[in-house]
């Protein structure tokens, strides 16, 4: 078993406390852990050593993955954009329903899946693969603060944007540093009940609300999501409290995402969020005046489109698929009425490419059938040492995707594109072994063992 905490560096946001037994207080999250020498804070990735406070997860990530921006509950910023998604280990919270508990809760971590990337290497992966957005996601980037800042600053110098997907249990000073460096914020507001936070998530509500208001005031791009959890926060009253706070403090234009839950970690006594619960939440939000309300993890036609006030469809969505169809290429205006749309930095949608079918016959292949529980998957080429290609053909539409992979980016997401789409035929070349890892919801990072990544 590798000791992934063998290396560390001095952290930001801490102070020494002199007493009978000198200790250090961490100032990163509202928990403000006080630890003695040789001990770790609640997150298990920040601790005291030699009279200093260190971060032990700097540059340490699960294997980076090429995804799309919709996986991060961001619908109004470059729909369909490819992202380089990365996430570390540890967390400042302890949600008993965590969708990525095997990386967020260090005591359950398989240390063999931990990779290491310098900020410069992340930038080079983006540049060599023409990826314009880096997404800090999966466990929670709060506990990765120093690395997030360094990567974001390097990204900005190279014209690459950064996205921060977080529960935002964070103190004001480090949050201010993020506002100076992060372009896009996708914030998970778990509930409007402080008791929920304390009982089920190991945190408190007030700091989260304060940080959300600060992001909104800064003008940075902001979208809010809430996991609708059966038996926890799925009552109409719960939804109305969330909607009311958003309208009072953020206004009606900030996109709100209600997201389906899949049983995980310590909360497996219930099923997935019923479709009816998500539809009711959306109905309540729209009825109260929220302008844009979307439903995550619900693969269905017509429920997640972005519509102009004139009725023109601006973006058509299905699952993780987003097609920009009603926006001018310049000015982000409605193609029908000319009104400026809520979509920032729209991109021309790639509707697929032709593939040499003769070439495919000489490749290895398999068929992946979609199921009710898994309508997306990570495709990974294990043991890849050089460049390789994965071609994905959707069985009904005939659309083809080609993904270029290499040793440091050997993982990509694919997803169902239409209701008639029952699966995909996958072709690949090169010496790598194809591994298919079902994605149980769009925030889920299936580990599957990444022991071959150094």
Nearest to 159 by CA among 136, 187, 131: 131
Contacts of 358 (CB under 8 A, 6+ apart): none
SS3 state at 347: coil
452, part of any domain? no
Q: Which range among 9-23, 57-71, 106-120 has the greatest average pLDDT? A: 57-71
Confidence of residue 396 (pLDDT cuts 50, 70, 90): low
C-alpha 364 chain-centroid distance: 31
Collect contacts of 116-119 with beta carbons under 8 A, ≥24 apart.
Answer: 116/59, 116/60, 116/61, 116/454, 117/59, 117/61, 117/64, 117/86, 117/408, 118/59, 119/59, 119/147, 119/150, 119/151, 119/154
Do residue 85 and residue 36 come from a single domain?
A: no
Is the pLDDT at 377 greater than 70, yes or no? yes
* Cβ–Cβ under 8 Å, residues 373 and 262: yes
Domain boundary (331, 351, 371) is at 351
Is the pLDDT at 124 greater than 60, yes or no? yes
20, part of any domain? yes
Q: What is the CATH number of the domain that holds 68?
A: 3.20.20.70
Domains of the chain: total: 4
Do residue 132 and residue 218 come from a single domain?
A: yes
Expressed as residue numbers, the domain containing 317 is 299-351
Q: Average pLDDT for residues 120-128, to the nearest whole number?
A: 97
3, part of any domain? no
Q: Average pLDDT for residues 224-239, to the nearest whole number?
A: 97
Is the pLDDT at 6 greater than 80, yes or no? no
451, part of any domain? no
Beta strands 133-136 and 161-166 are: parallel
Q: What is the pLDDT of residues 400-440, one digit of tens each?
A: 888 999 889 999 999 999 898 899 999 998 777 899 999 99
Do residue 69 and residue 51 come from a single domain?
A: no
Q: Average pLDDT for residues 118-125, to the nearest whole number?
A: 97
Is the pLDDT at 449 greater than 90, yes or no? no
Confidence of residue 354 (pLDDT cuts 50, 70, 90): low
φ and ψ at 98, to 5 degrees?
-55, 130
Do residue 209 and residue 344 come from a single domain?
A: no
Residue-level pLDDT at 346: 92
Do residue 324 and residue 201 come from a single domain?
A: no
289, part of any domain? yes
Q: What is the pLDDT of residues 252-278, one digit of tens each?
A: 999 999 999 999 999 999 999 999 999
Structure tokens at 210: 């304060």
449, part of any domain? no
Is the pLDDT at 1 greater than 50, yes or no? no
Confidence of residue 230 (pLDDT cuts 50, 70, 90): very high
**Percent of the chain having pLDDT more than 90?**
78
- Pick the range with the lowest mean pLDDT from 105-119, 161-175, 187-201, 370-384: 105-119
């Amino acid at each position: 078993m590798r000791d992934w905490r063998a290396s560390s560096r001095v952290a930001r946001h801490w102070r020494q406390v002199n007493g009978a037994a000198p200790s250090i207080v961490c100032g990163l999250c509202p928990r403000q852990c006080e630890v003695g020498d040789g001990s770790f804070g609640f997150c298990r990735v920040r601790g005291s050593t030699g009279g200093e406070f260190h971060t032990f997860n700097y540059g340490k990530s699960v294997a980076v993955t090429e995804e799309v921006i919709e996986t991060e509950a961001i619908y109004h910023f470059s729909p369909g954009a490819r992202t380089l998604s990365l996430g570390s280990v540890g967390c400042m919270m302890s949600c008993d329903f965590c969708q990525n508990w095997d990386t967020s809760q260090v005591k359950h971590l398989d240390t063999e899946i931990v990779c290491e990337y310098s900020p410069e290497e992340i930038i080079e992966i983006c540049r060599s693969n023409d990826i314009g957005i880096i997404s800090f996601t999966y466990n929670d980037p709060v506990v990765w603060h120093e690395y997030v800042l360094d990567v974001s600053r390097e990204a900005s110098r190279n014209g690459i944007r950064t996205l921060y997907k977080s529960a935002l249990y964070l103190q004001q000073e480090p949050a201010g540093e993020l506002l100076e460096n992060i372009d896009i914020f996708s914030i998970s507001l778990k509930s409007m009940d402080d008791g929920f936070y304390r009982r089920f998530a190991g945190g408190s509500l007030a700091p989260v609300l304060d940080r959300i208001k600060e992001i909104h005031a800064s003008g940075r791009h902001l979208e809010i999501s809430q996991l609708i959890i059966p038996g926890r926060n799925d009552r109409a009253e719960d939804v109305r409290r969330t909607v009311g706070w958003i309208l009072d403090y953020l206004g009606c234009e900030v996109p709100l995402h209600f997201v389906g839950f899949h049983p995980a970690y310590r909360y497996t006594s219930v099923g997935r969020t019923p479709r009816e619960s998500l539809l009711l939440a959306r109905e309540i939000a729209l009825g109260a005046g929220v302008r844009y309300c979307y439903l995550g993890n619900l693969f269905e036609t017509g429920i997640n489109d972005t519509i102009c006030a004139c009725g023109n469809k601006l973006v058509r969505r299905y699952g993780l698929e987003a097609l920009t169809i009603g926006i001018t290429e310049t000015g982000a205006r409605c193609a029908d009425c000319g009104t400026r749309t809520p979509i920032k930095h729209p991109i021309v949608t790639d509707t697929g490419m032709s593939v040499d079918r003769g070439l495919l016959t000489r490749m290895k292949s398999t068929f992946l059938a979609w199921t009710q529980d898994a309508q997306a998957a990570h495709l990974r080429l294990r043991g890849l040492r050089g460049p390789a290609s994965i071609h994905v053909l959707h069985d009904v539409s005939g659309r083809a995707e080609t993904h270029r992979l290499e040793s440091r980016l050997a993982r990509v997401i694919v997803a169902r594109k239409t209701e008639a789409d029952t699966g995909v035929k996958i072709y690949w070349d090169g010496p790598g072994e194809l591994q298919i890892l079902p994605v149980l919801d769009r925030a889920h990072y299936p580990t599957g063992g990444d022991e071959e990544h150094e």
